[in-house]
Amino acid sequence: MKQLIFPLAALVIGLGCTSPASVPSHEGVIVHLFEWRWDDVARECEEYLGPNGFAAVQVTPPVENHIVEGRPWWESYQPVSYGFETRRGNRASFESMVARCDAAGVDVIVDVVLNHMADADLEHEGDAVFTGRGTGGSSFGPWDYPEIYDHDDFHHCGLTENNHIWDWEDRAQVTECELLGLSDLDTSSPKVRSTLAAYLKDLASMGVTGFRLDAARHIAAEDIDAILTESGTEGYVVQEIITGGRTEPWLDSYLALGNVTDFAWTEAIGEVLRHRTWAHLKPGGWFWTSRQYIPDAQALVFVDNHDRQRGHGGEAAINFKDGALYELAQIFTLAWPHGRKRVMSSYAFDTDFQGPPMDDSEAIVPVYGEDGPDCGKGTWVCEHRWPSIAGAVAFYNAVEGPVTDWWTDGEDAIAFGRGSTGFVLINGTDAVLDGRWQTSLPEGAYCNRLNSDGCMAVEVDAEGRLAARLPAMSALAVDVASTQSP
């Protein structure tokens, strides 16, 4: 990486900034508080998410799940019943959380599993021993979930030797065979559709305003449509669909139903920042032509999620373990006008299998203690509270319009504007970046949204030129709502 020197440096003084503007909740930033307990989510809505402009929180499935020995994270995605007894809380604490978040101006988006129930054959898988017991006390067996489903309520596709998906390009296998041995619900069945619709309706009755449909690619689009229609719920819907970077014709029927997870973005941003240069992010450059992206109005965009940060689906996405590189990836993603944004909030982990932090009784360790949130101390990571990421959320809320004033050094430093509303400068090099950049901002003194200690003052002159001095692997973002207070 080469050093690029320009003649001017910015002043650094301690002044305040004006409050961030807000955006409609259906367009605002989502934070995924992965495996947080309901009382912790409620408190975070009140004390941090609402005051800092987060529009919505995505929560782990509030459904009785299979107890797997060792308590891996993925047991939360193996439903046993549609009861609310989980390690994160019960029905009363969930309903209270939704109400408290709503009062704080934060929507609740629930991760729902409509495709399958818990493992069908109860076989050992690695270190996991399948117990046939649920977190609410239910017992179950292969394709048998008492008082809910029996053998005839599931797909038994007959297309492969063991009824598992073998060919991921075969739509019949993908939608009718078992995903990793999980009992695949026959979502074309009126009984199954009505049961799933009733669950969604129950969630909506408590104030839930959005759903992330787990494994949506494995459910026929017409079945999703029928379930959503029967539920009568209205609100935000995002479908988890991995496209492999290709928008195949079958995707159109899902796009008609709601947003779709844009994994192509996750894959491409990881490849650029790990193996290429930031200059490849140039409009029309490699980043934009290497893959087919979900259309802007229907895309949910993210740097990482709970699967990809563990290496599922290929090389591990850029995640909190990458430190400054992760911060810069989040800043670019939040600042660039494509899709709705979601920020990950993790717990520390060493292995793919590892579940959320727990005590000797296997209860999830609370995030909030007597001294406030246990964030960044080796247990709960809380990336959404990192000053650079929270500041990028504020920038997102304040800007609008297309990309303007693109600049790059040809390698690992870039800058771009959002018309007359904001400007971002990212130094991904290993040297100081010192200079002046053309913007479309009004003349004035601005505060860097991404600074963690007071106001890093940034001056824009009468010709719209911004002067700054940035250390290696850092960034600045200024906008018309981050002008210095009088």
For the annotated catalytic residues, the residue numbers are 214, 240
- From CA 297, how far away is CA 259, in angstroms rounded? 8
Q: Which amino acid is at 48?
A: Y
Q: Tokens standing for 377?
A: 């101390």
The label of the residue with tokens 């009992």 reads 183
DSSP state of 251: G
The label of the residue with tokens 């292969």 reads 142
- Inter-residue contact 142 to 242 (CB < 8 Å): no
Strands 404-408 and 372-373, bridge-based pairing: unpaired
The crossing angle, in degrees rounded to 10, of helices 221-231 and 190-205 is: 50
- Inter-residue contact 33 to 380 (CB < 8 Å): no
134 by Cβ neighbours in 10 Å (0-12 / 13-18 / 19+) ranks as buried
CA atoms within 13 A on the CB side of 36: 29
DSSP state of 221: H
- From CA 466, how far away is CA 332, in angstroms rounded? 19
What residues form DSSP beta bridges with 450? none
What residues form DSSP beta bridges with 264? none
